Structure 1
Amino acid sequence: MWLNNFEIVLEDRVVERGAVRIEDGCIVAIRENPVAADAIEGNGRLLLPGFVDIHGDMIEKEVEPRANVRMPLELGIYDLDRKLASCGVTTAYAALAFQPDFYGHARPVEHTAAMIDALTAMREELLVDHRVHARFEVDLSSALATAEGLLSAGVLGLISLMDHTPGQGQYRNIEKHVTNLARQRGISEAAAAELVRQRMSEGSAGESIKVVADLANLARTRGIPLASHDDDSVEKVALMHGLGATISEFPITIEAAAEARQRGLATAMGAPNALRGLSYSGNLSARQAYEAGVLDILASDYHPSAILPAVVTLADLGPGGLAASVALASANPARTLGLADRGRIAEGLRADLVIAERGRIPRTRATLRGGRTIWSDGRIMGL
């Protein structure tokens, strides 16, 4: 099958009008001019590599769309799977959190483990290639035993370490955190401030350090990529680098992002941040990081439809144009996670592709995984 007359985004350049041939689920030929054979006609639409999303924490919201309203796990996974495919995501790392009770909002280990079990059992019938990114809060005493169990089952693709204690990391701006918490919970700022005070008084620094060291050692010995989370200082980056982290997720400051890059860690930030131009927590802007040359990866975070318009927006802000910005959501995360068979439009790789259209808001028209159409809005004849 030929995909003809597309604007093809390669890793290092953009082909204005070209064609890609797919056979047996792989890309076997790329032409930098239209072909004269029977083909799927692109009419100048964009052809991108499928997005590799290293951090999407949407499953929990699909399963529990409102507080204390639990839907069947399988239904939530099916819904998320269709949503991801419609957004151009062909490989998705579900970022599932293991953490103690925060402010009365518990995520029991058993519930998170059940979501992982359901996702793993359903993998072969889903549209997108789903993998597991386990997020461990550093004051969760059962973190090591939980991680060991998941690794023994062979279901973990990425581990990240989180510390959501107010006063540092994502919540270093305590006043803004209190305001956001009050808004989210529908309570007064005074009540929110009391919850934050209680949270800050909990936990043990010694226990947290042990959890971090144990999980880092486990990831290293099992060959699982390790990510730090919400790095807010060069000292924290140095610590996580020393423990073996290869990814710095959502660095809080430009200094932390620059230090991560200098030490060889890939920096990852959210596509919603890049699209809006600011962090909802008041932290580092993904646009600022990209313009400074310290952003490597864009993840869906909590809103996968932001990926496509975000990479198109960033194309005007960096020297590499659209090829470089698209790599943030495809080639770069694939390379960082050791997925050598995807992430680029290149001969011999999987035909994981996105057909998109420019406009006031860029839109996905079709998504292919392994050469098979997994989602289409019907605008591309033959797909």
Structure 2
Amino acid sequence: MQAEQVLNRVRLVLDDEVVEGSLVIREGHIADMDTCSSQLPGAVDCEGDYLLPGMIELHTDNMEKYFQPRPKVAWPSRQAALAHDAQMAASGITTVFDSLSIGTVEMNSMRTQALEKMHDALLDMQQHGLARVDHRLHLRCEVSHPETLATFEKMAESPLLGLVSLMDHAPGQRQFVSLEMYRTYYQGKFGFSDPEMAIFIEQQKENSTRYSSEQRRVIAARCQSRGLALASHDDATLEHVVESREYGIRVAEFPTTLEAAEASHRSGMAVLMGAPNVVRGGSHSGNIAAAELVRRGVLDVLSSDYYPASMLDAVFRISHMDDGYSLPQAVAAATRHPAQAVGLTDRGRLVPGLRADLLRVRLLDGHPLVQRVWCAGRQVH
């Protein structure tokens, strides 16, 4: 790592404004900023590009596709994790909470089979200094699955763990209020016949009735006692929001209705929506569009979800929307707000003293292109 780097002629995206100037990186941190150009001969001319804080991803299952690039094809763990890590860096994401699922409803899922391998690969990558960016663990707990609590207890002591979400993908509620959408999704995924699909639906409903409430309550209590950030998933009603608030939820992931999103925002939970929803112009499940939450001023956090490059694209799209956010507000949804939601106070803003997690961006025909990425002052892309 260089002792000092000076980034000159940049447009600094601050909390409330964009200003032209320069920024100094020293010993992995932002040492200084100025609204004047630097005259130092070694300063890097950034040619008027934007300089953003490195983006913070709270929810992505992107790593899974590297561990299983094709059905029934398992890839070596370290290589898979490093390929995922490189894509995060190239997308401008400098802190990532990798989402690993516990208790998936998918039959013979690689998520279950490779859970420990994915976790151990993340830990290996961090401990050996191989990672370009900072990786944390997000455990996604399917509370309607019989084995979720037991598996959570095994994983809860991981030094990487920083976020836990509570999910119930049973039919007829939350993400799948529409049974027709549920049938379409899972019949397409598993190739069920109509009779097989009917049996699957009844089994999932039964599991939800039997396990969800108790496992949700116990896992939430465990997280509160350990100071772990909690997220809800697919809240759809005011009753869901009230329950989430009682459990100490900090992040409302993917609320499915405007009613739930507005109530979550009012109650102090950070409303998280998928950047692909913004880029595609709507939800693939037919739920509330992220752009509508922007217009209402209740979208707090962006997540790339399943497509890492979508995050930066979404930031600039919502800053160009009619009735959208200013650029500093849009950038905050991918930087400052997710950091605050999970208690990371050392990053997410361009402020002297914070980590030099930085992203240099150039616009080409209105499209943001990543030019350089720094994580803790080290150039990683």
TM-score by length of 2: 0.93
Displacement of 1:362 in angstroms is 1.4
Give, in whole Å, the separation in 2 of the partners of 1:108 and 1:252.
24
Whether the aligned pair in 1 keeps the contact of 2:276 and 2:307 (CA below 8 Å) is yes
Q: Which of 61, 67, 77 lines up with 2:71 in the alignment?
A: 67
Equivalent residue letter for 1:344: R
Displacement of 1:206 in angstroms is 3.8
Whether the aligned pair in 2 keeps the contact of 1:7 and 1:46 (CA below 8 Å) is yes
Whether the aligned pair in 2 keeps the contact of 1:182 and 1:191 (CA below 8 Å) is no
Whether the aligned pair in 2 keeps the contact of 1:98 and 1:107 (CA below 8 Å) is no
After TM superposition, list the pairs within 5 Å mapping 1:229-268 onto structure 2.
229-268=233-272
SS in 1 for 2:320: coil
Closer, same or farther: CA 359–238 of 1 in aligned 2, 3 Å: same
Task: Tell me the equivalent position of 1:7.
Answer: 11
Task: Tell me the equivalent position of 1:172.
Answer: 177
1:146 aligns with 2:151: yes
Displacement of 1:315 in angstroms is 0.7
After TM superposition, list the pairs within 5 Å mapping 1:200-219 onto structure 2.
200-219=204-223
Closer, same or farther: CA 154–142 of 1 in aligned 2, 3 Å: farther
Equivalent residue letter for 2:137: V
Give, in whole Å, the separation in 1 of the partners of 2:55 and 2:263.
26
Q: Which of 69, 93, 98 lines up with 1:94 in the alignment?
A: 98
Displacement of 1:60 in angstroms is 1.2
Task: Tell me the equivalent position of 1:161.
Answer: 166
Q: Which of 39, 45, 49 lines up with 1:45 in the alignment?
A: 49
Give, in whole Å, the separation in 2 of the partners of 1:133 and 1:338.
14
Equivalent residue letter for 1:296: D
1:133 aligns with 2:122: no
**Over 6 Å off, 4+ runs:** none
SS in 1 for 2:355: coil
Per-residue CA deviations over 1:265-295 (Å, capped at 9, x if unaligned) read 1110111111222011111111111110111
Whether the aligned pair in 2 keeps the contact of 1:267 and 1:296 (CA below 8 Å) is yes
Give, in whole Å, the separation in 2 of the partners of 1:307 and 1:35.
31
Whether the aligned pair in 2 keeps the contact of 1:177 and 1:281 (CA below 8 Å) is no
1:28 aligns with 2:34: no
Q: Which of 359, 369, 372 lines up with 1:366 in the alignment?
A: 372
Q: Which of 346, 350, 353 lines up with 2:358 in the alignment?
A: 353
Q: Which of 117, 120, 124 lines up with 1:117 in the alignment?
A: 120
SS in 1 for 2:11: strand
Whether the aligned pair in 1 keeps the contact of 2:56 and 2:338 (CA below 8 Å) is yes
Per-residue CA deviations over 1:347-377 (Å, capped at 9, x if unaligned) read 11111000111123311111101111001xx
Give, in whole Å, the separation in 2 of the partners of 1:195 and 1:48.
50
Give, in whole Å, the separation in 1 of the partners of 2:167 and 2:7.
43
Closer, same or farther: CA 189–258 of 1 in aligned 2, 3 Å: farther
SS in 2 for 1:215: helix
Displacement of 1:105 in angstroms is 4.3
Displacement of 1:166 in angstroms is 1.3
Displacement of 1:114 in angstroms is 2.4
Whether the aligned pair in 2 keeps the contact of 1:87 and 1:308 (CA below 8 Å) is yes
Q: Which of 227, 230, 233 lines up with 2:231 in the alignment?
A: 227
List alignment gaps of at least 5 residues for structure 2.
none
Give, in whole Å, the separation in 2 of the partners of 1:106 and 1:243.
29
Give the fraction of aligned pairs with identical amino acids, expressed as a percent: 35
1:308 aligns with 2:312: yes
Displacement of 1:69 in angstroms is 1.0
SS in 2 for 1:362: strand
Whether the aligned pair in 1 keeps the contact of 2:143 and 2:208 (CA below 8 Å) is no
Whether the aligned pair in 1 keeps the contact of 2:144 and 2:170 (CA below 8 Å) is no
Give, in whole Å, the separation in 2 of the partners of 1:236 and 1:304.
29
Displacement of 1:251 in angstroms is 0.4
Q: Which moved more, 1:319-328 or 1:336-345?
A: 319-328
- Matched positions, count: 372
Give, in whole Å, the separation in 2 of the partners of 1:133 and 1:35.
41
RMSD between aligned alpha carbons? 1.8
Give, in whole Å, the separation in 2 of the partners of 1:99 and 1:37.
56
Per-residue CA deviations over 1:191-233 (Å, capped at 9, x if unaligned) read 7843653444441524221100100000000000010001011
List alignment gaps of at least 5 residues for structure 1.
376-383
Equivalent residue letter for 1:363: L
Equivalent residue letter for 1:372: R
Per-residue CA deviations over 1:233-273 (Å, capped at 9, x if unaligned) read 11111111101111110000010001101111111011111
Give, in whole Å, the separation in 2 of the partners of 1:199 and 1:20.
57
Give, in whole Å, the separation in 1 of the partners of 2:254 and 2:180.
20
Give, in whole Å, the separation in 2 of the partners of 1:140 and 1:49.
38
Equivalent residue letter for 1:356: V
SS in 2 for 1:212: helix
Q: Which moved more, 1:351-360 or 1:224-233?
A: 351-360
